C-alpha cells in the first residue's frame, strides 16, 4: 500500500485519512514547518511540532493546533505518526509514518548545516523517503556557516569604520533569526524591518537567544552610520530604505552561489548561506535513511532523480506547489 499519494489538495495518506503540507484547505493536516508554501490557513485541524507553535501563531493567528514533541507518537486510523527534527527553521519536522510493516518519511524542507536557532536534522531510517531538492545540483556546495558569519561581521565592521550603514537582505522567517544569532552586536546597533518583529518575538518566546534589535525610528542619525539593517528582499524598493543615507547592500541566500545572482539583485556583496541542504547534504541525508525508494517533491528534481537511479535506487517525483519562496 502507498502510504502517501498526491491529490489535488496535496500529499495524502490514504490509510490515515490526513494530508501533509496540503496547499488547499483540508479536514486534517500535518505541517512540517511554518513557511508559507508548506503551512497555509484554512485547515480544520493542524498537527505540528511543539517547537513550531509560537511561529505558526505569529504567522497565522489562533489555529486549531495539536502539538507533538519530537519523537512522540500519535495514531490516526492505525497509522503511527511522529515528528523528527529537520534542521530547516525553528520547529521544522520530518513526518514519519508507520503502517502495515512499512515506514515512510516526508522530509519537508531540511538542512544539515549547523544553526543555533533550531534543532539539528536527525536522519530517520525508512523504506520510502520523500525529499525536497531545492538545491539539487552538484554546483551547490555550501561554505561553513561559521566562515560566512565571520565574513558578514567583517563586512559590517568595515562599513561601520567608514561611516556607512550595512543593509542585509534576508527572509524574515528562519534566515533572519539565524543571522541575528551570529551577528557581532558590539559593532553597532541592529535595525530590523517591521516584518521581523513578530517572528523575532516568537523565537525569543521559544527560548532562542537573539541580540537586541531596534526600529529605525529609535536610532540616531549618527548611530545609523554604523548600524546593520536587516530587511526582506521585498523591501528593496520601498521608501523605508531611504532613511539610511550612504549604504552598502548585501544579500544572504544559497542563490548567491550562482554567478550573476548578485548582479541581478543589484547588491554590493552576496553571502552564501542557505536553510536548505546543498548537493552533498541531500545525498548524505538520503543515504542515512537507508531508503530503497526516494520520491522528490520540489526544486531541481530531475538531476537528483537521475543520480539516484544511476546509483541503483528507485526514484520518482511528486508534482507539488512547494517552492523556494523563502530561501
- For 294-324, what is each residue's pLDDT tens digit? 999 999 999 999 999 999 999 999 999 998 5
CATH 3.40.50.10710 for domain 145-271, yes or no, is: yes
Confidence band of 241 (pLDDT split at 50, 70, 90): low
> Chain-wide mean pLDDT for the chain?
94
Contact at 8 Å (CB) between 11 and 106? Answer: yes
Q: What is the mean pLDDT of residues 77-104?
A: 98
| Per-residue model confidence (pLDDT) at position 207 | 97
Q: For the chain, what percent of residues have pLDDT higher than 90? A: 87
Superfamily for the 5-140+276-317 domain: Ribonuclease Z/Hydroxyacylglutathione hydrolase-like (3.60.15.10)
Can you tell me the distance from the alpha carbon of 64 to that of 46, in angstroms, rounded to the nearest whole number? 6
Q: How many CA atoms lie within 13 A of 121 on its CB side?
A: 23
Can you tell me the distance from the alpha carbon of 114 to that of 237, in angstroms, rounded to the nearest whole number? 32
Q: How far is CA 151 from CA 7, 32, 85, 165, 292, in A?
A: 45, 32, 28, 16, 40
Backbone angles phi, psi at 311, to 5 degrees: -90, 5
Confidence band of 221 (pLDDT split at 50, 70, 90): confident
Query: Is pLDDT at 233 greater than 80 in this prediction?
Result: yes
Report residue 92 as a C-alpha cell: 521544522
Query: Is pLDDT at 326 greater than 70 in this prediction?
Result: no
| Per-residue model confidence (pLDDT) at position 324 | 57
Amino acid at each position: 500500500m502507498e502510504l502517501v499519494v498526491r491529490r489535488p489538495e496535496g500529499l495524502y495518506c490514504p490509510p490515515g485519512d490526513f494530508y501533509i503540507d496540503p496547499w488547499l484547505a483540508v479536514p486534517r493536516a500535518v505541517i512540517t514547518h511554518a513557511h508559507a508554501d508548506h503551512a497555509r490557513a484554512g485547515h480544520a485541524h493542524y498537527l505540528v511540532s511543539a517547537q513550531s507553535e509560537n511561529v505558526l501563531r505569529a504567522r497565522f493567528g489562533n489555529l486549531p493546533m495539536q502539538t507533538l514533541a519530537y519523537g512522540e507518537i500519535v495514531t490516526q486510523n492505525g497509522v503511527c505518526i511522529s515528528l523528527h527534527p529537520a534542521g530547516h527553521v525553528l520547529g521544522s519536522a520530518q513526518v514519519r509514518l508507520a503502517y502495515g510493516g512499512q515506514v515512510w518519511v516526508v522530509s519537508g524542507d531540511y538542512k544539515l548545516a549547523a544553526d543555533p536557532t533550531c534543532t539539528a536534522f536527525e536522519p530517520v531510517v525508512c523504506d520510502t523517503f520523500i525529499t525536497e531538492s531545492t538545491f539539487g545540483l552538484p554546483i551547490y556546495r555550501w561554505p561553513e556557516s561559521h566562515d560566512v558569519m565571520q565574513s558578514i561581521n567583517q563586512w559590517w565592521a568595515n562599513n561601520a569604520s567608514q561611516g556607512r550603514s550595512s543593509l542585509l537582505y534576508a527572509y524574515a522567517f528562519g534566515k533572519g533569526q539565524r543571522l541575528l544569532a551570529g551577528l557581532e552586536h558590539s559593532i553597532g546597533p541592529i535595525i530590523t524591518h517591521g516584518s521581523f518583529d513578530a517572528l523575532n518575538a516568537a523565537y525569543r518566546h521559544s527560548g532562542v537567544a537573539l541580540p537586541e534589535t531596534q526600529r529605525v525610528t529609535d536610532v540616531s542619525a549618527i548611530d545609523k552610520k554604523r548600524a546593520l539593517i536587516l530587511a526582506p528582499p521585498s523591501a528593496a524598493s520601498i521608501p523605508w530604505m531611504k532613511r539610511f543615507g550612504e549604504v552598502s547592500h548585501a544579500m544572504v541566500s544559497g542563490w548567491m552561489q550562482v554567478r550573476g545572482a548578485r548582479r541581478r539583485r543589484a547588491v554590493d556583496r552576496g553571502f552564501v548561506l542557505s536553510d536548505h541542504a546543498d548537493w552533498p547534504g541531500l545525498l548524505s541525508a538520503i543515504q542515512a535513511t537507508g531508503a530503497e525508494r526516494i520520491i522528490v517533491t520540489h526544486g531541481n528534481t530531475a538531476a537528483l532523480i537521475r543520480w539516484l537511479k544511476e546509483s541503483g535506487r528507485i526514484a520518482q517525483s511528486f508534482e507539488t506547489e512547494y517552492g523556494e519562496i523563502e530561501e
